[in-house]
Structure 1
Amino acid sequence: MSTRHTYRVIVRGTFEGLTGPDRERLLAEVDEHGLTAMRFTEEGSLAYDAVLKHFSFRYMVVSDPEDGDEMAAAIAEDRAERTLRDRGLPHGALRSTVTDMDTMKINYKGRRGSGAARPA
């Protein structure tokens, strides 16, 4: 049995064809969906601004590493699609960026010449 990997997936898209009521609803909730609300969670967090053009979701997806980034992206895009459909929000194509947290390298060294202290 293989170890499961945790992926952070950002799904981006553009609102298209929003109605007046759609815009009013989104603007009423805009403070709940700003930069400070962005979290990587299984259910996803939706972020957008008052311009109501672009949006993004942040998802945490746990999957088999053999399935790779493509499967994590597909799972996250499916979740985003479902959320947008359930909320009645029209949109264009979705695109994703995936990071495998289990293979990500962490550089503890400070930037060159910054004099940053190293962790103990």
Structure 2
Amino acid sequence: MSTQHTYRVIVRGTWDGPTDEGRAALLADVDDHGLTRMQFTEEGSLTYDRALKHFSYRFAVVSDAADGEEMAAAIAEDRAERALAALGHAHGRLRSSVTDMDTMKVNYKGSR
């Protein structure tokens, strides 16, 4: 069995010409998708603002360490595409940034 790592993945994109209905739905929920609501979860946390130009999703992905960050990004992008399609919102190309939480170095500062 391979070692599992936890990855934090941020998937970014732009809205692709939301319909009037889509725009109204996004704006009705904008307060539930602001910066203060950002979390890394398995199902993803969607954030955007009233300008409705860009959005981001934050995902926690558990995957085999041997598959690396590329696989974690692919999994998160697939989850984002499915979630956006379920909501009925078109989007442009997705970009991801990945952090492997199991290899991240934490610098602790001693008390002075």
Matched with 2:104 is 104
Find out whether 1:25 has 2:28 as its counterpart.
Answer: no
Matched with 1:84 is 84
What do you get for the CA RMSD once the two structures are aligned? 0.8
Q: When the two structures are aligned, how many residues end up with a matched partner?
A: 111
Find out whether 1:45 has 2:41 as its counterpart.
Answer: no
Matched with 2:34 is 34
In structure 2, C-alpha distance between the alignment counterparts of 1:58 and 1:64, rounded to whole Å: 19
- Unpaired stretches in structure 1, ≥5 consecutive residues: 110-117
What are the equivalent positions in structure 2 for 1:54-65 lying under 5 Å apart? 54-65=54-65
Matched with 2:7 is 7
Superposition TM-score, scaled by structure 1 size: 0.90
Find out whether 1:69 has 2:60 as its counterpart.
Answer: no
Deviation at 1:4, TM superposition (A): 0.5
In structure 2, C-alpha distance between the alignment counterparts of 1:40 and 1:30, rounded to whole Å: 18
Deviation at 1:2, TM superposition (A): 2.4
In structure 2, C-alpha distance between the alignment counterparts of 1:21 and 1:52, rounded to whole Å: 13
Find out whether 1:94 has 2:94 as its counterpart.
Answer: yes
- Unpaired stretches in structure 2, ≥5 consecutive residues: none
- 4+ aligned runs moved over 2 Å, structure 1: none
In structure 2, C-alpha distance between the alignment counterparts of 1:2 and 1:92, rounded to whole Å: 34
Superposition TM-score, scaled by structure 2 size: 0.96
In structure 1, C-alpha distance between the alignment counterparts of 2:50 and 2:97, rounded to whole Å: 23
In structure 1, C-alpha distance between the alignment counterparts of 2:30 and 2:17, rounded to whole Å: 18
Compare CA radii of gyration and give the structure with the larger one: 1
